[in-house]
Structure 1
Amino acid sequence: MMDSGFSLHAFGHSDRGLFRQNNEDYYGIFKDLFIVADGLGGHNAGEVASKMAVETIAEKILSLKSLLDTPSPDIEGQIRSIVKETSKRVYETSLKTPEQKGMGTTIASLWIQKSYFTAFHVGDSRIYRYRNDQLTLMTSDHANEVSIDEDQLGEIRRRYLTQAIGTTPDCEARIYRDQVQSNDRFIVCSDGLTDYVTTKEMELLLLKNKDAKQATHALIEAALSRGGRDNITAIVLNVSKQIESSSDQAS
């Protein structure tokens, strides 16, 4: 039983997509911490960066459990420090091997603490909250967006990240905190999902798929059906007011 009394049921899945040779996304489910990372860099370096970021953030966040028992825990300050430390670690690792030079990763992390949640991210991986049958974006991309008209093929949208973990030794996380409510649902995902499936479509898929595992697979299948040119990763979390908590993880 969690301190909050909430039961957390989560499922995550990552798909290579239909065109990519490697899957540079990585995710982790750690009871009350849910992380998705989208790696950047060639020669499999993106895979290294995303895995390192998830594991480092999880290790450091989970070591903060005692902080929650203090009268006024500085959650945001601790998270900012952890993200900076993680970026420095990935950056320093990238300097040791030529093939890993310039590697980096986005991250989107959702942490449930008692009756609150903290959503924090770097880059364009996202977190959504589904409440009262409405899906709301909790994050704001670190990206500049440029639109290009190419012949009659329509509008091509190309984003340029303004922040990523590991591309420099320092980066700033964007953080959002709010209260958790029973029956809240969350999506933590990479842009391989959001580039192909609209917020309204994701909202309808959650409405149709109450189970976290079913919802996760439905979201990923929707992205694949639209072309699936990128790696696609999603975690769906269901929050309920029950005694037990459980989570599942699939690769």
Structure 2
Amino acid sequence: MEFVHRTDIGKKRAINEDYLQVVETAPGMTLAVLADGMGGHNAGDVASELAVRFLVDRFEKSDLVTDSNAQAVSAWLKEAYEGANSRISTIAESDPSCKGMGTTLIAAVFQERKVTFAHIGDSRVYLYSKGEIHPLTKDHSYVNVLLDSGEINEEQARTHPRKNMLMKAIGTELSIDPDILTVTMREGEYVVMCSDGLSNMVTAEQMVHVIQKDATLSAKADTLVALANEQGGEDNISLILSQLKAGD
């Protein structure tokens, strides 16, 4: 498995509130984490970094191994998310400069070909396979609630004035219940983990076009970030791109 990651401030933001990290504890055992601090709230950059660093620290101290079953990994992720939520909530309550801070959070534990994802917020995970890209997460957003109820359509969702309003975030609730999913990757497949600064600017079709190019993984990641900036760059842009190569 090969990983590359990128983060970019974009064209409209004064600071970068995204934070990400990829850490390998043993061959074939990797944690990838990406967080997008809540825009418009105090200390969004603090919340995103706290969440990512909390999970990485827990992962490096955990007893998870490549043959840990999906149930054990899922339980670890749920506990880690609860811990991160508690840590950020406590700081937000005790420090006036951090009041109201929160963050999205997506994490993936890669165990060779098996990947377990946990998700809170509107950052996304996609799986590219055989010329198609499939979303593996569902946004925890107000607009998505309206979509599910049929009150608005996809076109209206893209320009809705409250499209950035989250229904779930790390640090803003007493308890948290992440969505968790395990998949098994096949040779030639890619996983794209990204903040909405990428997914709001770059279409799924454009992602497919970039991934299919005859280029290195690093070049593909750079192209996706450049494309998001070319098409507006309205938010911070972050992604973790991974590929299962032949023989992995």
Using the size of structure 2 for normalisation, the TM-score is: 0.85
Aligned to 1:173: 178
Fraction of identical pairs, as percent: 29
Structure 2 residue identity aligned to 1:128: Y
Q: What pairs with 1:9-20 in structure 2 (closer than 5 Å)?
A: 9-20=2-13
Structure 1: state its 5+ residue gaps.
Answer: 1-7, 244-251
Equivalent of residue 197 in structure 1, options 194, 197, 202: 202
Match of 2:237 in 1: 232
Count of residues paired in the alignment: 232
- Structure 1 residue 41, shift from structure 2 partner: 5.4
| Matched-pair contact (CA < 8 Å) for 2:41–2:102 | no
Match of 1:107 in 2: 105
Partner of 2:82: 84
TM-score normalised according to structure 1 size: 0.84
- Unaligned stretches of 5+ in structure 2? 25-29
Q: Is the 8 A contact 2:42 2:100 kept in 1?
A: no
Stretch deviating more after TM superposition (74-83 or 100-109): 74-83
| Secondary structure in 2 matching 1:104 | coil
What is the aligned partner in structure 2 of residue 128 from structure 1?
A: 126
How far is 1:61 from its partner?
2.7
What is the alpha-carbon distance in structure 1 between the residues aligned to residue 118 and residue 221 of structure 2? 21
Q: Root-mean-square deviation (CA), in Å?
A: 2.4
Kindly provide the CA deviation profile for residues 18-77 of structure 1, in whole angstroms up to 9, marking residues without a partner as x: 111000001101131111100025576011100010011122233334465567852222
For CA contacts below 8 A with separation 6 or more, give which structure has more relative contact order. 1
Question: What is the Cα deviation at residue 112 of structure 1?
Answer: 0.6
Higher relative strand content: 1
Residue type of the partner of 2:127?
A: R
Provide the C-alpha distance between the structure 1 equivalents of 2:64 and 2:17, rounded to a whole number of angstroms.
Answer: 33
Q: In 1, Cα distance between the equivalents of 2:200 and 2:212?
A: 20
CA drift at 1:212: 1.6
Q: For residues 170-218 of structure 1, what are the alpha-carbon distances to aligned partners after superposition, in whole Å with 9 as ceiling and x for unaligned?
A: 2111111011222221111000011111111111111115422111111
Answer whether contact 1:110 1:127 (CA < 8 A) is retained: no
> Are residues 209 and 230 of structure 1, via their aligned partners in 2, closer, same or farther at CA, if it must alter by over 3 Å?
farther
